[in-house]
Structure 1
Amino acid sequence: MMKRLILAAVAAAALTAPAMAQQTYKFAIVPKAMNNPYFDLSRDGCMKRAKELGNVECIYKGPVEHEPASQAQIIQDLISQKVDGIAISVSDAAAAVRVIKSARDAGIPVITFDADAPNSARQAHVGTDNRAMGRALGEELLKLRPEGGKYAMVSGGPAAANLKERVEGVRDALKGSKWTEVSGSPTYCNDDLALAVQQMQDLKTANPDLAAIVPVGGWPMFVPEAYKSFVNKNKEAMDQGKFSLVVADTLKVQLELLRDGYANALVGQRPYEMGEKAMDILMQLKKGEKVQDIVYAGIDRVTKDNVASMLK
């Protein structure tokens, strides 16, 4: 009898062992657009950190193109699937308020990365100090051309809070200098890479004496052949120091273009680290731990002097 009881207890323990195994979680990371290679780095950081944690699955899902309505629907679908946490690069800060509240009401932790929605119910933000990044872009231009001139900016979505802050940061840095912003700046490409290049050409055509263009995101450089075609038309002016390109982000393709003389300076974010940190913060929230409201991943300034080391 005793032997049967012991065997039964062992069998019961074996049956309950899987239930006692480490809790597993599904955390989703939602970019603004999946056709933007910038977000591939956040995806890679998310996947790496999820693998390291061992009990986390990283789900990477977003709209193919920059479409706030599509992003909201994808988040709603993730809520229906009862994922354990969501990190969002917010396309439209105002429009995201409702869907973020829906996720929180469903008991799902929500944070933002890259682009914030500070007036929403999100619990934390991991990204870049975008105003400081904008100032860095302006400062790099001032170093190149302290004598000033006319400049223009290219931005992404007009409703993206992070990009608004970068634009204002550039203006902060150039305020009181001899640089003046042309009418019609910034243009908005809505993360359409080809359109970003076209807008650069349109700005130069409309302002033949334009001395600099500052894209506050890397969009035009993400289509390198089209971008090089634009630069080649203005290469003589660039080589003579009469036309400058200071661009945001530091993806490998951008570093290579800078190395080859197709830009003067880059100011980059750290999207890979954002993907990693997003997983850690969601895990903390899932465990009921307190988290820091805003975490900055830092920025990198790159010129011809340090581009080789950055490529390594």
Structure 2
Amino acid sequence: MKRKIILMAAGAALALSAGAGLAQDKKTLAIVVKGLDNPFFEQINLGCQQWMEENADSEYECIYTGPASSADEAGEVQIVDDLLTRGVAAIAISPSNAPAMANRVRSIAPDVPVMTVDADFLEADRDLRATYLGTDNYLMGVYMAEQAMALKPEGGSVCLQLGNVAADNINARAQGFRDTVGAAEGIDRLAGENGWTEVEGCPVFTNDQADLANQQMADTFIANPDLDAFILIGGWAQFAPQAYTQVTDQVMDKLESKELIIIAGDTLPPQTQAFREGRSHAQVGQRPFEMGYRAPDVMIQLINGEEVEDPIFTGLDVCNGEDHGFCADN
């Protein structure tokens, strides 16, 4: 019988009982994401559900949860606290605020396996988890940089749009981008390296909010009419396709001539549609479904004391003007 996946809002108590929709004879494998309002994470949920369908006779049950809003860092920490306190067999966490989440996990000192998925802890806190499953985020930034450099070989003015200030995965992508276009390691901010300069007021931080992301894009285009490149390190603005269309309508002539280029992270359906319409020049996509599908098996391996690779990378898909690739069919 197919089990129900429980979607929890921030601060909601998790009752591990049959009355809450969880079978008492099943051991819980929990996946906790940054926010249920982000369509990227819904793909992780679908992977978790697919695993459930294929493992209906397993002694384990995969649940997917997170705060209602991706901006609710404290809510995510509380959900992890509740899960570890009430008892789970293992947990996979995508930390929104990596230091805050690590501090809480360290204080609880759980005796069950902890892993990260999609986003990792900061390097200093990685002793808290057994492995990381997800994207090689620095490499994702490198791929985005390569696309930008192919379109703008002489460099130019650029604005990076990031997510949460403390999100390790997003910061790693930004570092990969800066190091690659700047042809040097450890660049904090592009200031003419290899012809690339970050404009005043950038980077901008969306706090994982699509509406804010689109407003930031619009404001940046108005304030910087000669901007050469806008880099969505994550896909936030494109997750609200109507608003994204309205924003890019204002600069479509520049996009068509490639006077202004847009490179974006992720390849969800609204994003590949935007790419096909010429509202971005390249998309570098992650594989969130695979993350959700593989996480339960990795957690079971950890429970059984098996040796698990660290990190476990799930790969990337690149779409650009020369080879639409994945974007042509999605």
State the TM-score, normalized to the length of structure 2.
0.84
Please report how far the alpha carbon of residue 101 of structure 1 lies from its aligned counterpart in structure 2 after TM superposition.
2.9
**2:270 alignment partner AA:** V
Please report how far the alpha carbon of residue 137 of structure 1 lies from its aligned counterpart in structure 2 after TM superposition.
0.6
Please report how far the alpha carbon of residue 64 of structure 1 lies from its aligned counterpart in structure 2 after TM superposition.
1.2
Partner of 2:50: 48
The alignment status of 1:261 with 2:265, answered yes or no, reads no
Of residues 111, 127, 136 in structure 1, which corresponds to 2:115?
111
Structure 2 vs 1, CA of residues 205 and 309 (structure 1 numbering), >3 Å: closer, same or farther?
closer
Partner of 2:250: 233
Task: For residue 180 of structure 1, give the secondary structure of its aligned residue in structure 2.
Answer: strand
Partner of 1:188: 205
CA-based RMSD: 1.6
1:1-312 correspondence to structure 2 within 5 Å? 24-54=26-56, 55=58, 56-66=60-70, 67-101=72-106, 105-117=109-121, 118=123, 119-120=125-126, 121-175=128-182, 176-307=193-324, 309-310=326-327, 311=329
Number of equivalenced pairs: 289
Please report how far the alpha carbon of residue 166 of structure 1 lies from its aligned counterpart in structure 2 after TM superposition.
0.7
Deviations 1:85-135 (A, max 9, x none): 1111111111111332355x3422110011101414111101111111101
Distance 2:206 2:303 in 1: 37
Distance 2:113 2:52 in 1: 17
Structure 2 vs 1, CA of residues 191 and 50 (structure 1 numbering), >3 Å: closer, same or farther?
same
Distance 1:52 1:81 in 2: 27
Deviations 1:25-67 (A, max 9, x none): 2111111111000001111111212332331322111011122
Larger radius of gyration: 1
Note the residue ranges of structure 1 that are not aligned, 5 or more in a row. 1-22
Task: For residue 72 of structure 1, give the secondary structure of its aligned residue in structure 2.
Answer: helix
Could you list the structure 1 runs, at least 4 aligned residues long, displaced by more than 6 angstroms after superposition. Answer: none
**1:114 alignment partner AA:** D
Distance 2:78 2:276 in 1: 41
Identity between Structure 1 and Structure 2 (%): 38
Task: For residue 60 of structure 1, give the secondary structure of its aligned residue in structure 2.
Answer: strand
Please report how far the alpha carbon of residue 249 of structure 1 lies from its aligned counterpart in structure 2 after TM superposition.
0.5
**1:49 alignment partner AA:** W
Partner of 1:4: none
Contact map agreement 2:37 2:68 (CA 8 A) in 1 = yes
Contact map agreement 1:255 1:307 (CA 8 A) in 2 = no
Deviations 1:214-235 (A, max 9, x none): 0100000000010010100000
Deviations 1:119-176 (A, max 9, x none): 1411110111111110111110111121322110100000001111111111112114
Distance 1:25 1:245 in 2: 45
Deviations 1:63-96 (A, max 9, x none): 1112211101011111233121111111111111
Task: For residue 51 of structure 1, give the secondary structure of its aligned residue in structure 2.
Answer: helix
Contact map agreement 2:120 2:132 (CA 8 A) in 1 = yes
Note the residue ranges of structure 2 that are not aligned, 5 or more in a row. 1-24, 183-192
Deviations 1:244-273 (A, max 9, x none): 110001111101110111111000111111
Task: For residue 152 of structure 1, give the secondary structure of its aligned residue in structure 2.
Answer: strand
Distance 1:77 1:182 in 2: 43
Distance 1:186 1:38 in 2: 22
Distance 1:165 1:43 in 2: 24
Distance 1:182 1:174 in 2: 15
